[in-house]
Amino acid sequence: MIVQKELFGESKHIEFKEEIPKKHDKFLKDIIAFANTSGGKTIVGIVDDTGEVVGLGDQNPFKLSDAISNMISDACTPQINMEITPKTIDGKTVLEIEVFHGKYCPYYLASVGKEKSSYIRVNGTSRPADVRTLKELELMGQQVSYDTLREIGEKYNQNAAKKLMDEMYRKALAGKSKCRNKAIAEAFQYMKIIEGWGTGLPRLFRQCRERGLVEPRFEELGDGIKVTVYRKPGSEQANGITQSTTQTTQLPDERKMSDVEIRIVDAMKENSKITQSQLANLLGMDINAVKYYVRRLSNDNIIEHKGSNRSGEWEVLITDYAKWRNNALIL
């Protein structure tokens, strides 16, 4: 039987081993990397290259579990938190070694030393940690972050700090961004609600210019940021409100819609009674992602739902939608 790594979890956190190698260091490298990064599983009894389930043969799974546990405990330091569980796949027994992310990083081989055997996971492979990453692991193990450290003896240079902030601000406006929370980013990517990486601020400033609005203002407030977005004063704002409450909406040609939004509106034009669950199945998307886009389209007065949730219908409010759709710029 052939299996995929996704059977046991996210593939980049899974390693297959046909058997425990004679040179234990190769096996322990993955165990250490999982503990130093975000956890993972090593499955013993499956061929890595092909995914073929070969099982443990005549080996007693419980004795092998004890041997593996003792091997990891004797070779690695600090103590690695893990669980070893026998599993049966297609009538064959394999061992699932689940390693949990450790609190006392870095983990390494006691006989080799921290500098040479502190491994981490990089794109689904186990690699030695470089000097900077090793320092980060040490701080992580001490529950200390870089932004709480102070340079003893260094004087604060206001001009240098302002220059650094200006450079960071310039890079942000140019579309250069760094993912701060990978878990949220991966969740949003999976839900298909990320339209583009590093495009938010440039798009915000561009759309303000196109609408004749004052550029947004960014202010640092302690450990947070305040963003002020200005609107048109007086009659122009009032006119905008009046237009948005009319029966149909005349959107400018430069109004951008994502590919997902256009597919949703197309589906509603074809079947005005389509439900959000049916949209999710049709588009192959998570229901929460569909609700997000439908809510945004409703807030922008592009669509409107009339009637009850069960028997109501969707109405597309854009006048001459087919012509506008062809002219619209797709994100």
What average pLDDT score do residues 294-304 get?
86
Q: Which amino acid is at 307?
A: G
- At residue 173 the predicted structure's pLDDT band, cuts being 50, 70 and 90, is low
| Per-residue pLDDT reduced to its tens digit, 27-62 | 999 999 999 998 999 999 999 889 999 999 889 999
- Give residue 52's pLDDT: 92
Residues 229, 211: Cα–Cα separation, whole Å? 12
The pLDDT > 90 percentage for the chain reads 25
Asked whether 312 and 298 are in contact (CB, 8 A), the reply is no
Beta partners for residue 318, in sequence order: 249
Domains and CATH numbers, the chain: 5-141 (3.30.950.30), 182-228 (no CATH), 246-330 (1.10.10.10)
Q: What CA–CA distances, in Å, run from 149 to 35, 139, 143, 308? A: 25, 10, 12, 57
As given in the structure block, the two tokens for residue 114 are 């921290």
Could you tell me where the DSSP H helices lie in the chain? 24-36, 61-75, 114-117, 131-141, 158-173, 182-190, 200-210, 234-244, 259-270, 276-283, 287-299, 321-327
Mean pLDDT of the chain: 80
| Per-residue pLDDT reduced to its tens digit, 66-108 | 999 999 999 999 999 999 999 888 889 999 999 999 989 999 9
What average pLDDT score do residues 258-264 get?
81
As given in the structure block, the two tokens for residue 148 are 């709480």
Q: Is the dihedral of CA 200, 283, 13, 124 positive or negative?
A: negative
As given in the structure block, the two tokens for residue 82 are 């893990």
Quick count: other Cβ atoms within 10 Å of Cβ 74? Answer: 11
- Tally of residues, the chain: 331
- Give residue 238's pLDDT: 39
> DSSP letter at 78?
S
Task: Give 28-59 as a DSSP string.
Answer: HHHHHHHHHTT-EEEEETB-TTT-BB---TTS
Higher pLDDT, 200 or 240: 200
- At residue 197 the predicted structure's pLDDT band, cuts being 50, 70 and 90, is low
Three-state secondary structure call for residue 180: coil
Which pairs from 165-174 meet CB under 8 Å and 24+ separation? Answer: 169/218, 172/201, 173/201, 173/202, 173/205, 174/202
As given in the structure block, the two tokens for residue 212 are 């004749």
As given in the structure block, the two tokens for residue 94 are 């394999």
What average pLDDT score do residues 153-171 get?
74
